[in-house]
Amino acid sequence: MKHTSKIVILLTMAGLVIIPAFGKNGQITCAGSTTVLPVAQATAEAFMDINPGINISVRGGGSGVGVAALQNKTADIANSSRPMKAKEITASKSKGINPTAYPVANDGISIVVHKNNPIKNLTIAQIKGIYTGKIKNWKELGGASMPIVVISRDVASGTFEVFNEKALAGAKVDGTAQLLASNNAVVSAVASTPGGIGYAGLGYVTESVRVVTVNNVMPSESTVKGGSYPLSRKLYMYTNGKASGDVARFISFIQSHAGQEIVKEQGFITLN
């Protein structure tokens, strides 16, 4: 972030080592989900522009990384593309952390294939078959005779957690699958792999790949908000207890009309 960089440079030149307290002195730190990352970055830039005394740093790493950062008190906000698990909440409370969720956007996990793949629709059962290794060739689904290359997110990903729950019913992903660390990496891999299939948050889908319908439903504002798209979800920011001070102001900004317009610009779906 440009504001943070200026401060770091000045402190380095002065030979000082100053670590601001998290959530104080105008410093906010966010960590976690790569799906939430563009929303957090874009809203942080807009918020800092109208609040020049506040510096917000945003880093990714996955929802699990964000949760761990909140637990370890190295972040004020944990960005997560899934609800926190019961065991994570228990572990947090054992460390004196009381996770509080704030929805910031809606999303539909999009199933993407190579642009030249003629398959237009997949059922949840077929997706499960593909990702568990039971369906290995596109011809089994009415496509060309071509091996299916399974591309998935890694286990630290909240997107993986939601996909695993909603599409695979907790089944194990086939051992031959490529496990990648970000939405961008998945989309890029599918775009360059004729037999590839992957999944990513709506805000990461580009014209380099093609989105297929799931159970004949396309992810869109109406199908995600209405719940008819099977892989719908909310995106969250978690704080330790009820957000206060600058952190509360930042989250309120994201949830405001202005913030939700930025959510829409990033390719995601607004809360209301």
Is 110-218 the same fold as 2-106+235-265? yes
Q: Tell me the per-residue pLDDT of 112-151, one tens digit each, with 9 for 90 and over.
A: 999 999 999 999 999 999 999 999 999 999 999 999 999 9
Specify the pLDDT at position 5. 35
Where in the chain are the domains? 2-106+235-265, 110-218
Specify the pLDDT at position 24. 59
CA angle, residues 89, 94, 99, in degrees to nearest 5: 35
Single out the residue of 117, 149, 156 nearest to residue 135, CA to CA: 149
Q: pTM of the entire structure?
A: 0.88
Superfamily of domain 2-106+235-265: Periplasmic binding protein-like II (3.40.190.10)
Q: Tell me the per-residue pLDDT of 207-261, one tens digit each, with 9 for 90 and over.
A: 999 999 999 999 999 999 999 999 999 999 999 999 999 999 999 999 999 999 9
Give the mean pLDDT of 168-197: 97
- What is the DSSP track for 142-189? TS-S-B-EEEEE-TT-HHHHHHHHHTTTTPPPPTTSEEESSHHHHHHH
Q: Which two tokens stand for residue 263?
A: 């959510």
Give the pLDDT band (50/70/90) at residue 159: very high
Contacts of 111 (CB under 8 A, 6+ apart): 122, 127, 197, 198, 199, 211, 212, 214, 231
Q: Could you tell me whether strands 213-214 and 121-122 are parallel, antiparallel, or unpaired per DSSP bridges?
A: parallel
Give the mean pLDDT of 102-119: 98
Q: Tell me the per-residue pLDDT of 2-54, one tens digit each, with 9 for 90 and over.
A: 343 333 333 323 333 333 334 557 999 999 999 999 999 999 999 999 999 99
As a whole number, the mean pLDDT across the chain is 92
Give the mean pLDDT of 185-199: 98
Fold of 110-218: D-Maltodextrin-Binding Protein; domain 2 (3.40.190)
CA angle, residues 128, 129, 131, in degrees to nearest 5: 65
Specify the pLDDT at position 11. 30
Alpha carbons 219 and 124: distance in angstroms, whole number: 14
Phi and psi dihedrals of 5, rounded to 5? -60, -40
DSSP three-state, residue 270: coil
Alpha carbons 223 and 5: distance in angstroms, whole number: 41
Single out the residue of 129, 115, 112 nearest to residue 183, CA to CA: 112
Specify the pLDDT at position 15. 34
